[in-house]
Amino acid sequence: MIRILAWILLWLPVAALPGHRMDMDSMVMNENPTRLPQGCAEIAGDRTITVRAGRKYAKPFPGVVFAYDRQSWEVAPCTRLTVRFINEDHIRHQFMVHGLPPDLYPMGMFTIEVSGPGEETASFILPPYKKTYLVHCDIAQHTEHGMKAQLKVAGGDGDLASLPGLTKPVRPDRYPSRWTGRSLLLLALALFAGMALIWLGRWLIRAMTEDRP
């Protein structure tokens, strides 16, 4: 009993932080189901999305290691979005949104982090503006290796780069050549064609400059 009380007292300060929850299994930062962003007269509607995260969702994308089950969502302005975030790996993953109004969302972020296999749900209200928000997992190299998505409000203001299966990276990879029988044959043909062109050019020059009887 004393242990339980001590535990409650230890964790009480976190419970007192607005929009902040944390326990051994998960963490939510800047949850906001009630306060309206500037420009929203009321909550336009409620929507719930289920987001699954894990290595297996990278399977359709060669060269990607971690991914969400979707890479893009669209919502209406002033929507109260409830995110049910399911982590299917044995490591941490996050659903972290950037670019939100900092007066409501400190550091402009809304985050759900799930410590291992499990899930967590939290809500936030989106601003009224047409904008594309970055969604990612900010664990070292998870964004870079595929766990990146976008949340478009009112159609968004463009697409983000390097979303698996959707958009190209800013810095594309260069892959080594794979020498097959066909590519070697093409190379040989190109060599012969080049030599023929040189021979043809020389023949033409000679034909034009040669003295005619």
Partner 1 sequence: MQRRGKIYGAVGILLFCAVLDVAADIPPPSVSEVGKSAKEPFCPPERPAEWRDAQKIDGVEIQEERVCLPDNPYAVAAFVKGTNNVSMPTLMKTRLAADSIIKRNDRDGDGDPDEIIIKLEVAELNGASPDTTEPVHTFAIAPGIRPAFWVFAPKVRGMATKDEHSTEANPLLRVPSPVIRVEQGDTVRIVLENTHYFPHTIHLHGVDHPFVDAKGEGNDGVPQTSEGFILPGGKRVYEITPRQPGTMIYHCHVQTHTHLAMGLIGMFVVEENRPDNWVQTFNVGAGKVRHPSRAVLERYDQEYDLQYQAVDKELHEIVQSSNDPRVIARRMNREYDLTDATEDYFLLNGRSFPYTLRESLIVVEPDQNVKLRMLNAQGELLAVHTHGHKATITHYDGIEVNPAAQITRDIFDMAPAQRLDLKLTTTNDGLHNYGPGIWVFHDHVERGITTDGMNPGGNISAIVYKSYLGADDVPKLQGIDLSRYFDTAFYRRQMPVWQDIDEWDSLGDPDARQAEAAESADGETRKRSPLRHLLLGLLLGFLAYILFTNRERGRELFCQYVLGRK
Residues in contact with partner 1 by the rule CB under 8 A: 10-14, 22-25, 27, 29, 54-55, 62-63, 65-66, 89-92, 96, 98, 107-109, 111, 113, 115-116, 138-145, 161-162, 169-176
Quick one: tokens of 179?
Answer: 């020498």
Report d(CA 191, CA 202) in Å as an integer.
17
Look up residue 126 and give its two tokens. 């989106």
Instruction: Give CA separation, 11 vs 3, 4, 17, 34, 63, in Å.
Output: 12, 11, 11, 24, 41
Nearer to partner 1, 10 or 41 (CB): 10
CB nearer to partner 1: pick between 12 and 207 = 12
Give whichever of 15 and 190 is closer to partner 1, judged by the CB atom. 15
Strands 93-97 and 131-136 come out as antiparallel
CB of 91 to partner 1, least distance (A): 4
| Two structure tokens written together for 211 | 């003295």
Tell me how far, at minimum, the Cβ of 90 lies from partner 1, in Å. 4
What is the rounded distance in angstroms from the CA atom of residue 43 to the CA atom of residue 124? 11
Q: How far is the CB of 118 from partner 1 (least distance, A)?
A: 12
Q: Identify which of residues 172 and 181 has a Cβ nearer to partner 1 in the complex.
A: 172
Separation between Cα atoms, residue 88 and residue 180, nearest integer Å? 39
Q: How far is the CB of 192 from partner 1 (least distance, A)?
A: 30
Query: What is the C-alpha R_g of the chain?
Result: 28
Query: Which residue, 36 or 162, is less far from partner 1 as judged by CB?
Result: 162
Tokens of residue 178, six digits: 């794979």
**Strand-pair partners of 51:** 85
CB of 194 to partner 1, least distance (A): 26
Q: Closer to partner 1 at the Cβ: 80 or 148?
A: 148
Q: How far is the CB of 80 from partner 1 (least distance, A)?
A: 24
Q: Which amino acid is at 205?
A: I
